[in-house]
Amino acid sequence: MPSLIPLIGEKLPEMIVPTTHGIRKLPDDYIGKWLVLFSHPADFTPVCTTEFVAFAKRYEDFKKLNTELLGHSVDSIFSHIKWLEWIEKNLGVKIPFPVVADPGAEVAKKLGLLHAQSATHTVRAVFIVDPNGVIRTILYYPQELGRNIDEILRIIVALQVSEKLKAAVPADWPNNELIGDRVIVPPARTVDEAAERSKHYTCFDWWMCHKEGSPEHAEAARAFLKRAAGL
């Protein structure tokens, strides 16, 4: 049985939602692409404005990763449009992606975005959904903390590496202290497979083996990390 709110490994709930770019059907309209669905507490608020500018300035990076962006809050379409107009006019940044309007908070309730911090404004949530419509990552931030957009990009790159190589990604990838930008081989499933591990992979022990990663993905992830660090 599905959970009351969507969890990692479940399909994004089917919804038909109004956005600033017209009606969107979730997740069907994004099948074949990665999707970052992110909520913000409210339009015309300072931290949310900085986030939308940051997402917009990274939009081409997301597109290169076959990823689309979809914003969300409990504000109306009218509010979204006026706020996005204000951002473009006053900050010189055009927001290129759609934003879901949810004044009845139906989407927010279905996705579990109303937390104890506020019963009327959503937390800063991020759902990263794969091309099959399956939720692969969920992040929650409090209202007072803006997100690091480059870290979200790094997560998408890491998930794509994991998919490509059928392997796990270590801490702080691609700059892990033990294995650098290499990836971790899935656990052995039999005694015989465990005994053969060291013949095929580099291992600390049979249960902790690693193999060559994806240099092009690692280079992209390092670029996002450097930008996040202001280097």
pLDDT, one tens digit per residue, over 176-188 is 999 999 999 998 9
- Give the count of beta carbons closer than 10 Å to the beta carbon of residue 55: 22
Looking at residue 220, its pLDDT comes to 83
Cα torsion 159, 162, 165, 169 to 10°: value is 130
Looking at residue 225, its pLDDT comes to 76
Q: By three-state DSSP, how is residue 228 classified?
A: helix
Looking at residue 143, its pLDDT comes to 85
| C-beta of residue 206 within 8 angstroms of C-beta of residue 198 | yes
> Which residues in the chain land under pLDDT 70?
1-3, 116-120, 228-231
Domains observed in the chain = 15-147 (3.40.30.10), 159-228 (3.30.1020.10)
pLDDT, one tens digit per residue, over 62-98 is 999 999 999 999 999 999 999 999 999 999 999 999 9
Q: Which one, of 39, 29, 44, lies nearest residue 112 by Cα?
A: 39
Q: Which residues pair with 209 in a beta bridge?
A: 203
Looking at residue 226, its pLDDT comes to 74
Tokens linked to 103:
């004044």
| Backbone conformation region of residue 25, classed left if phi is above 0, alpha if psi is from -120 to 50, else beta | beta
Q: Which residues neighbour 153 within 8 Å (Cβ) at sequence distance 6 or greater? A: 58, 61, 62, 65, 221, 224
The residues assigned a catalytic role are: 48
Residues in the chain: 231
